[in-house]
Structure 1
Amino acid sequence: MKMHIAPCLVAVVSLAVSACSADDKGMDVQLKLTDEASAADVGLPMYPGAKPYKDPGESRSGANLGLSTGSFGLKVAAAELESSDRPDKVAAFYKKALARYGEVLECTDAASKTSSAESEDRLTCDPHEPGDHEVVYKVGVKDHQRIVAIKSHGNGSRFALVHVDVRGETKR
Structure 2
Amino acid sequence: MNLEKRIANIFRMSDEVWQRHAHPGSVWSRTAALPLLVVAVWSRAWWGWWSLVPVAIALFWIWVNPRLFPKPASTNHWASKAVLGERVWSDRDAVPVPQHHRRVPHILNLISALGLPFLIWGLVAFHLWSVLLGVCLVNLGKFWFLDRMVWLYEDMKDATSEYRSWLY
| TM-score, scaled to structure 1 | 0.24
Q: Which has the higher contact order (CA 8 A, sep 6+)?
A: 2
Q: Higher helix proportion, which one?
A: 2
Q: Higher strand proportion, which one?
A: 1
